[in-house]
Amino acid sequence: MKKISKFYDWLTNIDSLNFSDKSALIIGGSEISKQYVLALKELGIEDITVIVNKGNNILKFSTEKKIKLLTGGFEKNLSNIEKKDLTIIAPPIPNIMLATKMATETSQNNILIEKPGSLYYKELVSATESLSKSDIRVGYNRLVYPNFHKLKKLCEDEGGITSCRFTFTERVSTINFKQSIDEVYRRWGISNSLHVITMALELIGMPKQIHSYQYGSLKWHPSGSIFVGNGLSEQGIPFSYHADWGSGGRWGIEVNTHENSYQLIPLEELFVRKKDTSTWNQVEFDKSFPKIKQGIAEEVAIMLDNNIEHRNNLLSLIKTSEYNKLAEKIFGYN
């Protein structure tokens, strides 16, 4: 059986694994932290500690889910935490690297950090060098969506992907501009749009050649509002992309093989259009925990499983830095 098929089978059967003897630490009290708690619970893990600043947003939730909640922030509490089987770093983006560094200094060495890790690729390169003794992965949860790996399997069975196009048009009206600092919005391509870019390029390979153009401007995102480009991946697959943040549209990826075209639109689903037809039909795929946010339980299971090879499906710090550097080109960041 091929490697992709094996991983898809494992990924869609994580509900059969036993992690009840494991422990986890989460830094941060946002909505994504709650999603991690739900995933840990689904995997049978009860020993969960969450460190927050004030805890107002998660207090009721922590009581309902019977998790240990520590207030006062990670700088105050980390030194008092015993070593956990998994540490999840999910504070606001500007604090991720500091929290990660402090976690490694206080005995935590199996670490999953929330995407994008940092807004700057150079900071990630520096972290790769200074934190090399810890196993750190970056939580781009869409890279472990079951439908994503079903797509990989189907494309492999059909001889591979022949071309790809993707869009990362942002729904600007849904962005909460009071949630973070201006820097996060000025680099929104890294803060958010990399979700799509990483998915597309993890299917076809990093660019060997790329031509990127930016047009327009937004008050909160001065480098542009329209982004178009094309190139050739390291696997020899031509690709193109388009995003217009001032118009309608949504995230999406389309890939082609010699036999079919496939769409991840929305990213959580999978559709196929047979050659010489005009109809898109939904492709069924398996999920271990359909009631919780896709990719979260899958990430946690990968980080707690004994098969180290599975971790290659999550991004390392150095690979994440490469994506950040690429995003700086795509979005015209200086």
> What are 203-261's pLDDT values in tens digits?
999 999 999 999 999 999 999 999 999 999 999 999 999 999 999 999 999 999 999 99
Residue type, 73: G
pTM (2 decimals)?
Answer: 0.95
At 312 the three-state DSSP class reads helix
What pLDDT is recorded for position 334? 79
H or E segment at 186?
helix 182-186
Angle at 318 between CA 315 and CA 319, to 5 degrees: 45
Cis peptide before 146 (omega within 30 of 0): no
- Section 35-45 average pLDDT: 97
| DSSP H helices in the chain | 3-11, 31-42, 59-65, 74-77, 96-105, 121-130, 146-157, 182-186, 188, 194-204, 296-304, 317-330
Tokens of 303: 């980080």
Burial class (CB in 10 A: 0-12, 13-18, 19+), 78: buried
- Measured between alpha carbons, how far is 170 from 91 in angstroms, rounded to an integer? 23
The domain limits of the chain are: 13-142, 143-288+318-330
3 token code pair: 């490697």
- Separation of alpha carbons 310 and 303, rounded Å: 8
CATH of domain 143-288+318-330: 3.30.360.10
CB atoms within 10 A of CB 130: 14
Identical fold between 13-142 and 143-288+318-330: no
Q: Of the CATH numbers 3.40.50.720, 3.60.40.10, 3.90.1300.10, 1.10.150.110, which one belongs to the domain with range 13-142?
A: 3.40.50.720
pLDDT tens per residue across span 134-183: 889 999 999 999 999 999 999 999 999 999 999 999 999 999 999 999 99
